[in-house]
Each structure stands twice: as structure tokens, then as C-alpha cells.
Structure 1
Amino acid sequence: MKRLLLIAALFFSLTSHGQTNYTGSYGYSLKPEGTPSKNEKASGPSGSLVLIRLEGNKYRFWLDVDKGWPSYNLGTTDGTITFKNDTASFDNTYEDAKKSCILKFRISKNIVHITSQSASFDCGFGNAVMADGVYTKWKVQPKLNNAWLKDQYFEAPKVLTTANKTILYKDENALYPTTQTFAKGETLLNIAETEKTIYTERFTAAGKFVYGWIKKSAVKMADTE
């Protein structure tokens, strides 16, 4: 299940990297481990990684891992990383973990290597599920848009903008506005929230990925029917 972002871990990142844009979808798909019956449609271990460039060397990422046959146990996480010299790290330690879970990313052209050296439990993944793997950029790229975002945050409630110009802020206290605004009547995802603000992410009509905080006073709960 895709988890909603925790405010404390929302912008965890390390270091910096060159200006190459690595936005895109990466992954791998392997044969089943063991010997499934001939009558069974079995799939093997697989992983999916999506990177979206925020600014400079900082990226949002979404990671989904499937153990494959026979358990099909899953592992999902998402967050923010920043590359330096082709590498980045992310603290994915689960709340009740006995040891830390640090995911290490190393990118080279169209390939991302992920290593963790952590137990699946410490990472909050299903039994025996590991993020480790070689993720290659898909030749056919899926479209990254608001429909895709909705699938990532399928549990996130939706809000409707009520102000004529709803401002997107850089911070949860709504002190530092961005240049991005939303018109009245736009539907946004409530991914995380504080007492007075909501964190949201959205693709603009021009395809730009924007993220930040909006005031609760500028929105209302959207009709879920």
C-alpha cells in the first residue's frame, strides 16, 4: 500500500549533483524464483522507480517492489533525495524498526542502482522484500500526470479550491509564497497536513510538476461521489 508522506520525512535529502535531468520511470522484471506449476501464471520479482526533478539536483521518487511468486509480498516508499557525484541516500527506517534502513541510490546514464543492506522489516516492506536492484530506464515511458499522481496517493482525500487565486507556498507555515497559484474550483490532493495548511502535488497544464503548501482557508473538502 502506498503510504502517505510524513511531514518530518518529507524533504529528507543529501548533497548535490550535476544538472542532467534524470526524470523518468525505471525498473526491472525477473523470472520467478523456484518452479511454479505450468498451469499457474506466475510473475517473478520486479521493481519500479519513478524520479521527478524538483529543482537543481533534488528529486521526488516513488519506489515499488514486488517479491513475485509465490508470496507476491510488496514494498513501497516515496520521498525526496538530492544527488551528489551520482549518489544519494534516503532514510527509510520503519517506525518500529530494530535497525536503520538507509536506501542508497547510484545513477549512471539510464540505470539506477539501489542498495540497502537492511532487513525488509526495518524498511517497512513485506517479508523478504528488498529494494536492492538495478533499475533501468524503460524504453517506453508511462505518462506522468495528475491521473498517475492520483494512483500514487489513492488514499489521499481531495480538496476543492474556493479562493479566486489559491497560492502555493514553499513552507508549511505559509510564509513564503511560490509563483504558482490555482484558480477557483481546482481539485487538489491532500497528501499531508498541519493545523492550518495542506501539502499537495500537481502537474500543471504545461506538464510542470509543482509541490508545496496551501492554506486550509482557501479550500473545502471535495465531493467524493
Structure 2
Amino acid sequence: MKKIFFSVLIVLIVSEARSQTNLTGMYGYSMPLENTVSEKEKSAVPGGRLIFIKIEGNQYRFWLDVLTGPPGYNRGETDGIITFVNDTASFDNTYEDAENPCILKFQRKGKTISINSQSTSFNCGFGNGVSADGEFTWLEKQETLNNEWLKKQYLNAPVLEIKSGKAQLYHDQDGFQSFYPKKYLSKNDSFMNIAETETTVYTEFIDAVGNLTWGWIRKSDIKSASE
């Protein structure tokens, strides 16, 4: 019994340690430029950049940006939310006019995130010849991924405020499906209007400990920052 209990305890400790690993940060790779490229071309370094910001548990908001080299310098960009299970995660990045699916498969190994799409640039909605596939390694130079950084990703997003005592954040754009536990913003809290429907507004923000919160807010609970 003692041996069995000890083995179970080890499994629980390993599983808990794995689930608590915070992947928030910037990962990437670069491709060497040819000696024949111009000075202007040298400013656009081909390669890839992947950013993770933790939401909760093993769920992350990600941004992916890939740039090919000369002569085309084509780009591929996407972003979304993924959940890691046993160091792997998947994201459906299929383009609306795609002939075949584009499923991005993420694999974590130490400080490296590998992406495998097994699809073409067209199916993924990327520029000609651009592939998300690659190994993105933890970058030595890291930006501070806080709410100020997030605002720079949405420079044109209007700023709104909560007008009621508190406003609930919803999982769906219709404003009916609650998070568990429920999430709220308080009166006079300001937030970005990243996207909207006739009845709701989508927003994201990063809290003081670096976790990202997202959700839809009913328009009946908000006002413009100038009101």
C-alpha cells in the first residue's frame, strides 16, 4: 500500500508541476539574410514570432507572425486562444475559402514551442509560400507583456467605460453564456472596444499579475469614455 500511495503521489506532483508551468512570453526564430540583399531589405528580418499570455490554467491567448525572405517578403499572421493538454494544443486556422483544413498543432518541449500545420499557405489564409511550421524558441530579449503592451496591439480601439454598478463578462457574443466563475468589471472601469455586435462589445485586458481576461460585455452596461 505504501508503494502504491507513493507512486500515486509522484504522479500527482509531476502533473501539478506541469500544469503550473507558465508559458507567457515571446518565442521566435530568424532566418539568415543573403549577402546580396539591400539595406532596406535588411530591416525586414525573415523569421517567426510567437507570443503567449496566460488566461488561466493551461489556457493561453497567442499571437503568431511569420515573415518569409526575399524576394517576396510575404507574411502570415493569426491569433487566438488555445488550451494545452499534456504539452500539446491545437487551433483551427482554416481560411474561409480553403480547400482543405489548416489545423495548427502546438507542441511544447522545454523552452521551445513547435508548430506543425500540415497544410498550405492558402488554406491557412497566409501570404504565398508562408508556413506556420517551425520551432519557436524562448527569446533572450523579452518585452513586458502588460496591459500597455496589449493596447498597442489595438491602437484604433475606442475606449469605453462601465456605467452600471458592475458589468458581467460573457463567453459568447450574444451575452448569455457566463464564465465559471463569473467575471465582472466595476463601475467606471475603462476597457477597449476591440470588436462589437449590435448588443455586445468584445474586450481584453491584462491584470496586475500578467494574466489576460477576455469577454463580451452587454452594451446596456457601458458608456463612451467621454460621457
Partner of 2:222: 219
Partner of 2:167: 166
Read off the aligned partner of 1:202 and give its amino acid letter.
F
Q: Tell me if the contact between 2:61 and 2:212 (Cα under 8 Å) persists in the aligned partners.
A: no
Read off the aligned partner of 2:213 and give its amino acid letter.
V
Q: Give the match's secondary structure for 2:150.
A: helix
* Structure of higher RCO (CA pairs closer than 8 Å, 6+ residues apart): 1
Partner of 1:5: none
Q: How far 1:195 sits from its partner (Å)?
A: 3.3
Q: How far 1:217 sits from its partner (Å)?
A: 1.0
Which stretch shows the higher mean deviation, 164-173 or 72-81? 164-173
Residues 130-141 of structure 1: pairs in structure 2 closer than 5 A: 130-141=131-142
Q: Which contiguous aligned blocks of 4+ residues in structure 1 show a shift greater than 6 angstroms?
A: none
Partner of 1:11: none
Q: How far 1:207 sits from its partner (Å)?
A: 3.6
Q: Which runs of 5+ in 2 are unaligned?
A: 1-16
Residues 56-205 of structure 1: pairs in structure 2 closer than 5 A: 56-172=57-173, 173-174=175-176, 176=178, 180-205=183-208
Identical amino acids, percent of aligned pairs: 51
Q: How far 1:179 sits from its partner (Å)?
A: 5.3
Read off the aligned partner of 1:176 and give its amino acid letter.
S
Query: In structure 2, do the counterparts of structure 1 residues 190 and 40 end up closer, same or farther at CA, with 3 Å as the change threshold?
Result: closer
Which stretch shows the higher mean deviation, 189-198 or 128-137? 189-198
TM-score (norm 2): 0.79
Q: Tell me if the contact between 1:44 and 1:69 (Cα under 8 Å) persists in the aligned partners.
A: no
RMSD: 2.5
Q: Give the match's secondary structure for 2:70.
A: coil
Q: Give the match's secondary structure for 2:167.
A: strand
Higher Cα Rg: structure 1 or 2? 2
Read off the aligned partner of 2:198 and give its amino acid letter.
E
TM-score (norm 1): 0.79
* Structure with higher helix content: 2
Read off the aligned partner of 1:29 and give its amino acid letter.
S
Q: Distance in 2 between matches of 1:62 and 1:41?
A: 24
Q: Tell me if the contact between 1:174 and 1:215 (Cα under 8 Å) persists in the aligned partners.
A: no
Q: Tell me if the contact between 1:174 and 1:214 (Cα under 8 Å) persists in the aligned partners.
A: no
Q: How far 1:125 sits from its partner (Å)?
A: 0.9
Q: Which runs of 5+ in 1 are unaligned?
A: 1-16
